[in-house]
Each structure stands twice: as structure tokens, then as C-alpha cells.
A = this chain, B = another copy of it.
Amino acid sequence: MHVMNESGRVEAFSDGVFAIAITLLILEIKVPEIGEHGGLWHALGAQWPSYAAYVVSFLVIGIMWINHHQVFSYVARIDRTLMFLNLLVLMVVAAVPWPTAMLAEYLREDKASHVAAAVYSMVMVAMALAFQALWWHLTRTGHLFDARVDVEGARRTRVRFALGSLAYPATVGLAYVSAPLTLAAHGLIAIYYGFNQVPVPTRTPDRAALPEDGR
């Protein structure tokens, strides 16, 4: 299998996709039209689902970027499977503006709100699965990591990592309880992962991420 030894370029391309996807989110918030009764303030207030969806999806993509960046900072070599799995992660990340706009549009409509929230949650499930696949591939042999990484330790994180991802399927169920609650849950999960990044165990205790850093 062909091995490229420049993870930098892959990371730079990925960063570009993350940065663009996160910035395109704003296109979902429209300039409100003034209705017959109530002025611009009223019209602005009626748009609150758009603001909430913007903030949550911004956190989701932003923190996904932090974790992606964290993992790739330990990757020294790229093989084709990693390239593909990374494209898969990016394909889901780049898609986030779409369920965001849909959830904002339908958040206040009874029946459709549950469907929109379920689709939003399913996109998050897809993102978690793609990232899991990338992590399993990296930790399987560990030969793509740089020398700092404790491969055995990294492999042991898989189960904990997979268990953590079970939160996402749960939000698909939550969508049928309440769409606003589902959105809030995704915001909380994002913040949780912001403070509990993927722990990459290293061989020697140095300044890099140690397992206990992960909580």
C-alpha cells in the first residue's frame, strides 16, 4: 500500500473544509421580512430557531475540528484508507449546514420539527461513525502514528470512545420527544467533547495529551 508521508497537506485541506463549512452556516439565517403586525424586532424574535441552530452547529463543527486536529497532530503518515475515511468525515462535516437550515426552518412546526431534529441527529450519528472508523483504522496497527504515541494504550481507548458515541443515537430518539431539547442536547454534547478531547496516550509522560487529560 502506498504511503504518503505528509499529513500536513491533508490536515490543511481538512482545515479548509472545516473553516468553510462553519462559515457557510450563517447563510442559513435570513434577513427577516417585516410582517403586517409587529416591526423588525418582532420579525427578528420570530427567527430565534435560526440563531439557536447557528450557535449549536458552530460549536459542533468547531469542536469536531479541535478533535480532528488533535488526532492528526499525532499522525505521521497517511495511507489511502485514511485518506478515504478522512474524506468521509469531511463529507459529513460539509453537509452540516443543510440539516441546520432544515431544523431552524421547522423547529416550531409540531410534526415536522421531530423529523427535522431526527435528521439533524442522524447526521451527527454519521459524523461520529465516520470519526470512529478513522480512529479504529489509526489504532489498528498504529503504524501511521508518530513515535510519541503509545499504540497499545490508544487501542484500549476504542471501547470508551465508542461508548461515548452512543450519545448520538440517543438523540435520534430524543428528537421524537422535543426538537428544541434535541438541539440543546447537541450543544451540550459538543461542549462536553470540547473539554473531553480524544485522549491520545503517549509513551512517555511529556507535554502532550495524557489519558488523564481526557477528562
Contact = CB atoms under 8 A, between A and B. Distances in A.
Q: Chain A interface: which size bin?
A: 35 or more
Contacts of A25: 94
A169 interface: no
Interface in A1-20: 2-6, 9, 11-13, 15-20
Nearest to A115: B40
B16 A20 contact: yes
A3 B207 contact: yes
Given A111-B39, A112-B40, A115-B39, A19 B22 contact: no
A31 B103 CA distance: 9
19 contacts: A2-B197, A2-B209, A9-B11, A12-B12, A13-B19, A13-B69, A16-B20, A17-B23, A22-B94, A23-B24, A24-B26, A26-B94, A31-B102, A31-B105, A54-B95, A58-B94, A59-B87, A80-B195, A83-B194
